Amino acid sequence: MTTVNKKRQLARQVSIVGAGLSQFGAFPEKDSRDLFVEAFKDMVQSMDQGFDIEDIEGAYIGNYSSDLFEHQGHTAPIVADWLGITPIPITRIENACASSGSALREGVLAIASGMYDVVLVGGMEKMTNLPTDGVTDVLASAADGLYEVPAGLTFPGIFGAIAKAHMDRYETNLDHLLKVGIKNHENGALNPKAQFQQTITAMMERRMARAQERGHTVPDYKTDLDFLNDPQANPWIAWPLRLYDCAPITDGAACVLLVADEIAHNFTDKPISIAGIGQATGKPLHDSDELTSLSAAKAAAQQAYDMAGVTVADIDLAEVHDCFTIAEIVATEDLGFFAPGEGPRAVDEGRTALGGDHPINTSGGLKSKGHPVGASGVGQVIEIYHQLRGEAGARQVKKANPTVGLTHNVGGTGGTCVVNVLRRES
């Protein structure tokens, strides 16, 4: 008997009725609990009809590694204490960078099962306490510590190897990767919660101005790509990936309030329904069928599309896991927006920009908004929540009345992938 391919439906529907995000960035004096409270406060203060904290019946918090980043294990009860919601059950979920994607999924399942009506889900990560090599080591521990890490593969290294394979197999080049970053910074510049609220052009101009102030030779950049191709300005991290191909190291937290559909209108007139959820598992890259694709992403997307009863053509916009620029290109191919190998051309043609036919990472993505790894999955959901409610401000997608959005959250190099399809009910 095989149950793996059986199409499943939730026993009852679940909606998002509130969302909160902390500021993303580097905050030396804040611990992860403080960041989570900041996100929670943002949620409470933005809920249309308010809500009673006492209504929360359970909570799931994604966090990758407070143990290594903050020397703090067992963080979930600390969050419950800081929110004053003890003794409700709270559980920490760890699936690397997909931790809060998985936490949201557990919250959905808890409500769908009938166990609870109101569940808080979120995620948090405090990363900037460690120096860069320490963070590199912690992130590498999401790969196989026995057979990938000893081979010298870091987290950027594995995605660098994916990029090289993509370049060899298709017509992908280094400029395609850089253009993903340029696009995401253009979006992030419009996001007041983003770590980098600056376009690449603005960063380039700042570097030129600084050189002039200091009496140094002013670099002769004509375009963003000139700047990004300068090894002084954009050094190699793991060839073919450079600094501006990598999501930053970030402190941040995110949370949403999930409720059973039948009570959603007690909280807001504009609930966003979780129409489809998918989660799948993959092997280390060396054991994957393909070196240019994440099999877990394809499987998770299929589950989510099937449950929601949609196809890729129905998706108005998506937040995808651009921990590296190549990861966004691979994601847009794995999700079916573009055929394998066509992702780079779609970037060239502006199809993934705010005004394109497949807007990707309107928030700025992990690249520009920031990537507090345990918070990123729910952070993505929050962007779609605001876009579908038409309240994303300057970065609102240009297409009228977006109704269906997608999130794609990857743990490690595809060991875990969580895909959600969200829908605004008319």
Partner 1 sequence: MADNFTATAFYRALKEEGQIVGVKCQACGHLSPEPRPMCPICHGFDMVSHRFSGKAKLDTFTCISIVPVSMAAKGYGRDKPYCSGIVTLEEGPRISARISGVDGANPQNIKNGMDVVLDVADLDEESPSVAFKPA
Q: Is 148 in the site for partner 1 (CB under 8 A)?
A: yes
Give the amino acid at 62. Answer: G
Q: Is 281 helix (H, G, I), strand (E, B) or coil?
A: strand
Sketch the per residue contact string, 103 through 142, with partner 1: x for CB under 8 A, - otherwise.
-----------------------------xxx-xx--x--
| Smallest separation, CB 174 to partner 1 (Å) | 11
In this chain, which stretch among 18-26, 69-77, 147-155, 214-222 interacts with partner 1, using CB under 8 A? Answer: 147-155
Tokens of 408: 């794609």
**Complex with partner 1: residue 242 or 424, whichever CB lies closer:** 242
Single out the residue of 68, 96, 120, 158 in contact with partner 1 (rule: CB under 8 A): 158
* Helix boundaries (H) for 99-214: 99-112, 132-140, 155-169, 174-188, 200-213
In this structure, the strands spanning 58-62 and 118-125 are parallel
Tokens of 314: 């129905």
Residue whose token pair is 């999930």: 258
| Smallest separation, CB 292 to partner 1 (Å) | 9
Given a contact cutoff of 8 angstroms between Cβ atoms, the answer to whether 97 and 104 are in contact is: no
Q: Is 241 in the site for partner 1 (CB under 8 A)?
A: yes
d(CA 158, CA 238): 9
Q: Is 61 in the site for partner 1 (CB under 8 A)?
A: no
Near partner 1 in 341-400, by CB under 8 A: none
Q: Is 198 in the site for partner 1 (CB under 8 A)?
A: no
Single out the residue of 165, 297, 308, 378 in contact with partner 1 (rule: CB under 8 A): 165
In this chain, which stretch among 154-162, 197-205, 364-372, 397-405 interacts with partner 1, using CB under 8 A? Answer: 154-162
Q: Is 152 in the site for partner 1 (CB under 8 A)?
A: yes
386 in active site: no
Single out the residue of 58, 160, 379, 402 in contact with partner 1 (rule: CB under 8 A): 160
Given a contact cutoff of 8 angstroms between Cβ atoms, the answer to whether 360 and 320 are in contact is: yes
Of 371, 386, 408, 417, which one is the catalytic site residue?
371
| Smallest separation, CB 133 to partner 1 (Å) | 5
d(CA 151, CA 166): 21
Query: Phi and psi for 213 in degrees, rounded to 5?
Result: -55, -40
∠ Cα 208 209 211 (to 5°): 65
176 in active site: no
The number of C-alpha atoms within 13 Å of 36 and in the hemisphere containing its C-beta is 30
Q: Is 284 in the site for partner 1 (CB under 8 A)?
A: yes
Single out the residue of 154, 293, 302, 352 in contact with partner 1 (rule: CB under 8 A): 154
Give the amino acid at 250. Answer: T
In this chain, which stretch among 106-114, 150-158, 220-228, 364-372 interacts with partner 1, using CB under 8 A? Answer: 150-158
| Smallest separation, CB 345 to partner 1 (Å) | 21
Q: Is 318 helix (H, G, I), strand (E, B) or coil?
A: strand
Instruction: Give the number of residues in contact with partner 1, rule: CB under 8 A.
Output: 38
Near partner 1 in 286-325, by CB under 8 A: 286-287, 291
In this chain, which stretch among 40-48, 92-100, 157-165, 255-263 interacts with partner 1, using CB under 8 A? Answer: 157-165
d(CA 249, CA 351): 28
Three-state secondary structure along 323-390?
A: CEHHHHHHHHHHCCCCCCCCHHHHHHCCCCCCCCCCCECCCCHHHHHCCCHHHHHHHHHHHHHHHHCC
Single out the residue of 11, 53, 115, 151 in contact with partner 1 (rule: CB under 8 A): 151
Q: Is 216 in the site for partner 1 (CB under 8 A)?
A: no
Q: Is 281 in the site for partner 1 (CB under 8 A)?
A: no
Q: Is 149 in the site for partner 1 (CB under 8 A)?
A: yes
d(CA 327, CA 329): 5
Q: Is 233 in the site for partner 1 (CB under 8 A)?
A: no
d(CA 373, CA 366): 9
Report the 10 Å Cβ neighbour count for 369. Answer: 33
| Smallest separation, CB 226 to partner 1 (Å) | 20
Single out the residue of 161, 189, 354, 378 in contact with partner 1 (rule: CB under 8 A): 161
In this structure, the strands spanning 252-260 and 14-21 are antiparallel
| Smallest separation, CB 39 to partner 1 (Å) | 29
Binding site residues, partner 1, CB under 8 A: 132-134, 136-137, 140, 144, 146-154, 156-158, 160-165, 168, 235-241, 284-287, 291
Catalytic residues: 97, 371
